[in-house]
Homo-oligomer: A and B are copies of this chain.
Amino acid sequence: MAITGHHLIAGQWLRANMPSFSSIAPRNKTQGAIIFAEATETEIHAAVAGAVAAFNLTRTYPAATRALLLDTIAAEIEALGDELLQVCDHETGLGLPRLTGERGRTCNQLRAFATHIREGSFVQAIIDTALPDRQPAPRPDIRRMVIPIGVVAVFTPNNFPLAFGVAGGDTASALAAGCPVIAKGHPSHPATSEMVAKAIHTALKKCHFPEGFFSLVQGASISVGQTLIQHSALAAVGFTGSLRGGRAIFDAAAARPKPIPVYAEMGSINPMVILPDAIATRGDALVRDIAGSVTQGSGQFCTNPGLMLLLDTPESRQLIQNVATTMQAQAPSLLLNAAVENGLVQRVQHTASKATVTLVTGGEVVSENGFCYANTVLQTNAADFLADPDLQEEHFGPVTLFVLCESIAQMKMVLQSLQGQLTATVHASDAEHDLAGELLDILRDITGRLILNGVPTGVEVVHAMQHGGPYPATTMPNSTSVGMTAIQRWLRPVAYQNMPDALLPDALKNANPLAIWRIVNNETTRAALA
């Protein structure tokens, strides 16, 4: 497939003569041959206009029609074949095995949302029938469901070029909800974004959707995003990326004449507590699991465990040494781009230069051809950690910080001091379950997902998944960006009062023609109205 460096603007592949950029291959730091353009204001506005026009047609499409589109997008991504993986690997250095898995996850996710909306109960239908004899006044019939919120902008991150890319979770859930999407591709892998956009474009045509239902705009500067977010017709925003980037988008959206919701997932340090008897009973497995989780994907995961809390015992100190040795023995892997490498260099230098912090291993660029940083272990103690909120900053890469605590009481103080997190993990033996319960109870207040005896990396795409958390993990603590309930971000409720069946959407009609679960006069049921 020829990569052209164009944007997909409501069905047309366009580019104006704007400042341009190329990707840099992480393996050898060579600049890509294909020149991509920054989307212009005209192109961005055309994408939004196309999305608005599409929405006017698609908002009455049945869920099954959108489900077919999602399935077709998955099939078209698969039809791109190994070329997609090769292009993506060239741009990201993530390797074919990982990218093969990520492609599977991406397509499974599209199909899972298709299944979810085909089942149909996601519209949360609630019906309260009329009480014509109520005194002093009759009660009217009121029925409520959720409908698509409107045009959604999706800002994609560098670290999951497929699963959180332009056909990733935000796009899949927004299309499933019935919202047109304008995706901003990440400048680190523009060819990957273009190929996936072509798959979506083909699927739109095959499924007879208006082509404005999906657009791709590319850009390496912040102005593309800022222009997009200022458009009055935009209804909501999904973002995955850094705290700085997410906060900038959030601030811009809040400052609009008409503010719109921003669902930004901005990563976290994912604290992990390792209790003494867990070390005693399965120390070796812990070392392996921790080292594996910290270095997975070169540590470039939002759920990377960047903070390890242990009691200060000889066994804990030995565990730290063993993790360091294991990580040292693993070949360091590539980083995504120069910005990640530079950011990591500066951040680790900043942390390791503190008198309170020991560099156990790593802490340096690995001088090969590519972007690469040594697997790194840092260590401090709880008193110093508590005194220095700066130590809660993320090191985005294969880095973790061990914090030794004098007592469980002090460990609890550390947990209480933490900012919002995507995940929190406790490792405990069966004998430590009561203590684990106390710690989990504290951690529950700051996190979206609690894990016992596992690792936070690896976010299952299931109904029960919660991938979110209090700020700064996200800007919307009551939402998730992974799992089936992610669709709820792009829906808003509407009530229908006193409508005859003919004027009601199928989900709210008496006969329940969609056979969905509804709450009817306070009873959960799939039955038709009597």
A interface residue numbers (CB < 8 A to B): 59-60, 119, 121, 126-128, 137, 139-140, 142-144, 146-147, 149-150, 235, 250-251, 254-255, 258-261, 420, 433, 436-437, 440-441, 444-445, 447-454, 458, 460, 462-466, 468, 470-472, 475-480, 483, 485, 488-489, 491-500, 502-503, 517, 519, 522, 524
B-chain residues with CB within 8 Å of residue A139 when the two chains form the complex: 460, 462
CA distance A452 to B143 in the complex (A): 12
Complex contacts, A126 vs chain B, CB 8 Å = 463-464, 485
Q: A68 → chain B, closest Cβ, in Å?
A: 20
Measured between C-beta atoms, what is the minimum distance from A135 to chain B in Å?
A: 12
Closest to A146 in B: B478
Contact across chains for A449 and B140 when beta carbons are under 8 A apart: no
Other than the given A463-B519, A468-B493, 8 more pairs (CB < 8 A) read A250-B259, A258-B471, A259-B475, A261-B478, A452-B499, A453-B498, A454-B497, A466-B494
Closest to A441 in B: B60
B142, B149, B498, B500: which contacts A477 (Cβ < 8 A)?
Answer: B149
12 A–B contacts, CB within 8 A, in A order: A60-B441, A119-B522, A144-B485, A149-B478, A251-B255, A258-B472, A433-B500, A444-B494, A449-B496, A452-B498, A466-B493, A477-B492
Interfacial chain B residues near A463, Cβ < 8 Å: 126, 128, 144, 519, 522
- Minimum distance in angstroms from A126 CB to a CB of chain B: 4
Q: Are B142 and A464 in contact (CB under 8 A)?
A: yes
CB distance from A287 to the nearest CB of B (A): 19
Let me know if A497 and B259 touch, CB within 8 A: no
Distance between Cα atoms of A259 and B128 in the complex (Å): 36
Given A250-B259, A254-B250, A494-B466, A499 and B450 contact (CB-CB distance below 8 Å): yes
Separation of A2 and B521 alpha carbons in the complex (Å): 42
- Per the bound structure, the CA–CA distance linking A458 and B448 in Å amounts to 38
Nearest CB in chain B to that of A516: its residue: B524
Chain B residues closer than 8 Å to A420, beta-carbon distance: 258
| Complex Cα spacing A500 to B450, Å | 12
The complex is assembled from copies of this chain, and their number is 2
* Chain B residues whose C-beta falls within 8 Å of the C-beta of A479 in the assembled complex: 493
* In the complex, chain B residues whose CB is within 8 Å of the CB of A445: 59, 150
A495 touches B453 (CB 8 A): no
CB distance from A21 to the nearest CB of B (A): 31
Query: A495 contacts which chain B residues (CB < 8 A)?
Result: 448-450, 464-466
- Rounded to whole Å, the gap between the CB of A253 and the closest CB of chain B is 9
* Alpha-carbon separation in the docked complex, A243 to B111 (Å): 42
Q: Which residues of B contact A493 (CB under 8 A)?
A: 448, 466, 468, 478-480, 485
Specify which chain B residues have a CB less than 8 angstroms from the CB of A494 in the assembled complex. Answer: 444, 447-450, 466
Contact B465 A142 (CB under 8 A): yes
Which residues of chain B have C-beta atoms less than 8 A from A477's C-beta?
149, 235, 261, 492
A254, A440, A491, A495, most chain B CB atoms within 10 A: A495
Which residue in B261, B452, B499 is a CB contact (below 8 Å) of A497?
Answer: B452
Distance in angstroms from A269 CB to nearest chain B CB is 16
Contacts of A524 in B (CB 8 A): 121, 517, 524
User: Which B residues are in CB contact (< 8 Å) with A476?
Assistant: 261
Taking a contact as CB atoms under 8 Å apart, the answer to whether A464 and B127 are in contact is yes
Q: How many Å from the CB of A371 to the closest CB on chain B?
A: 28
Task: Give every chain B residue within 8 A of A452 (Cβ-Cβ).
Answer: 496-500, 503
Give Cα distance in the complex from A495 to B302, angstroms. 16
Q: What is the bound-complex CA distance between A255 and B451, given in angstroms?
A: 32
| CA distance in complex: A433, B479 (Å) | 38
Instruction: State the Cβ distance, A446 to closest chain B Cβ, in Å.
Output: 10
A324 → chain B closest CB, angstroms? 25
- A466 contact from B144, B254, B485, Cβ within 8 A: B144
Q: How far is the CA of A466 from the CA of B495 in the complex (A)?
A: 5
Tell whether A503 pairs with B150 under 8 Å between CB atoms, given A127-B464, A497-B454: no
Q: Which of B464, B475, B497 contacts A449 (CB 8 A)?
A: B497
Instruction: Let me know if A140 and B447 touch, CB within 8 A.
Output: no
